[in-house]
Amino acid sequence: MAHDILIVDDEQDIRTQIAGILEDCGYRTRQAANSSEAMEAMAGRQPALVVLDVWLGDSEMDGLETLEIIRRDYPDQQVVMISGHATFDMAVSATKMGAYDFITKPFKTDVLLHNVERALREQHLQEEVRELKKRVGPQSDDVIGTSQVMVHLRRQVDQLAATDSRVLISGPPGSGKSLVARAIHRGSERPKRRLVTLNCATLETEGGDAVLFGVEPAKGRPRAVGVFEKAHGGTLVLDEVGSLSPKAQSKIVGILQGNSFRRIGGAKLIDVDVRVIATTRLDLKAEVAAGNFDGELYHRLNVVPLEVPPLHSRRKDIAALTRYLMARIASDRGQHARVLSPEALATLESYGWPGNVSELCNVIERLLLTAPADPSKPIDSHSVAMALGGGRAAARWENEAEVMNQPLRDAREAFEKEYLLFHVRRFGGNISRTAEFIGMDRAALHRKLKMLGVNLTDKAQRMGV
């Protein structure tokens, strides 16, 4: 169902204009000319978002007073303020009172739509956080994202959490495999028991067997408990299981076969009830075929496969991830979270993200360290480009080297294709919004994309729109 947006403005022409823009993009709208009509509309059905004018003529309350009542009676309601006579102090007052953003008239269509989309994403994110906190407590990590692949992944996580099946989570480094493993554990019937994570690379050091099995006490040596015993009744995550040596692989197969083992130096068989989740950056099926990974261990771990997508394939989630990480990291550092300008967010969305979500976390930390001291000023695209690695990093694309070695005519065509694809991706696959922003007729943009050999359906699927 389309989002329901309430437009509150005393000018009929402005209400009609905003409604037309939003309805063209698939939103449902309602209108109110004054504060009384606005409150009546909200009492009938709370909207997903309110677009509220500061100056309301022939109204019992002005926009700021109406905002105050809305935030009092509907504390979770997202409100975007608009005004043709805005001052800096007015904008600060509105945001302090709980407005999501403040737009000045006359506004550009893409600015309005961008702010509406951001506000709705933020609302959705807050709802996800509230729901997750109800289930797992306030300290939980979240699988963030509204793209198609992440919605599907969360659905799989919810389904798997109710089972005791072993799960093999694959994905590139930094994509959030461990976070998904924790989400499965939290939603399972074992959340009150321990979640133990084993970095499989550590088993190659001396004492690897003791890490797995534990050690019986002897003269001058205390008892040590291994990871399987620590995780009894709970969940054991074998992190980057592809890094295990053949010897370690064989030992873990033995444990999984009987759910039992003996401590080093012990004779007693230790029975354990452990749910095992493994993560890997490698294609383990290919590793088995190449003789680098034990086939039996692979099949015992790969009862249910899950794949965590790279960040560049779900750019739709970058804005929400950025806000979430900004709030979390700023809180951890005792700082105020900062807002990014639309251009700054666009720079993040255009970047390749070889380090995935882990790299995004690092970039947010750099931004908090280097952002201008004035918290009221949004972080701009230049600051983001520098945080990404010095300015040019944000402007690169995957086939840059190839393009630079082409004749001018071919290079121009390649750049044009990348430019158009970036903005199609930026506006979530919406051709009308893309055409308006880049200054092209919608039909002309369709023809240009077709001429460049761009299949919008395939591209949209890869973008997660």
pLDDT at 456: 63
Query: Cα–Cα distance between 265 and 232 in angstroms, integer?
Result: 20
* First-last CA distance in the chain: 16
Angle between helices 35-44 and 63-73 (to 10 degrees): 20
Query: Cα–Cα distance between 119 and 103 in angstroms, integer?
Result: 13
159-309: CATH, from 3.40.50.720, 3.40.50.300, 3.30.365.10, 1.20.1630.10: 3.40.50.300
CB-based contact 262:255 (threshold 8 Å): no
- Does 1 score more than 60 pLDDT? no
Query: Cα–Cα distance between 465 and 462 in angstroms, integer?
Result: 8
Closest CA to 293 of 261, 253, 237: 253
Q: Name the range with the highest mean pLDDT among 11-15, 131-135, 138-142, 371-375.
A: 11-15
pLDDT tens for 144-193 read: 888 889 999 999 999 999 899 999 999 999 999 999 999 999 999 888 77
312-395 has CATH 1.10.3720.10 classification:
no
pLDDT tens for 431-464 read: 887 888 788 888 888 888 888 777 765 444 444 4
pLDDT at 420: 81
Domain boundaries, the chain: 4-110, 159-309, 312-395, 400-463
pLDDT at 457: 54
Please report which confidence band the pLDDT of residue 205 belongs to, taking 50, 70 and 90 as the band edges: low
> How many CA atoms lie within 13 Å of 117's alpha carbon, on the beta-carbon side?
22
Query: Which class is domain 4-110?
Result: alpha beta
Q: Mean per-residue pLDDT for 279-289?
A: 96
pTM of the model: 0.58
Burial class (CB in 10 A: 0-12, 13-18, 19+), 439: exposed
Quote the strand ranges of 362-462, DSSP E. Answer: none
| Higher-pLDDT residue of 176, 125 | 176
Torsion of CA 346, 350, 351, 353, to 10 degrees: 100
DSSP 304-344: EEEEPPPGGG-GGGHHHHHHHHHHHHHHHHT----PBPHHH
- Does 265 score more than 60 pLDDT? yes
Task: Tell me the pairing of strands 167-170 and 304-307.
Answer: parallel
Amino acid at 129: V
Share the mean pLDDT of the chain. 84
Query: Cα–Cα distance between 316 and 293 in angstroms, integer?
Result: 35
Domains 4-110 and 159-309 share a fold: yes
The long-range contacts involving 16-21, CB below 8 angstroms and separated by at least 24 positions, are: 18/51, 18/112, 21/109, 21/112, 21/113
Q: Architecture of 400-463 per CATH?
A: Orthogonal Bundle (1.10)
- Does 137 score more than 80 pLDDT? no
pLDDT at 398: 52
Please report which confidence band the pLDDT of residue 98 belongs to, taking 50, 70 and 90 as the band edges: confident
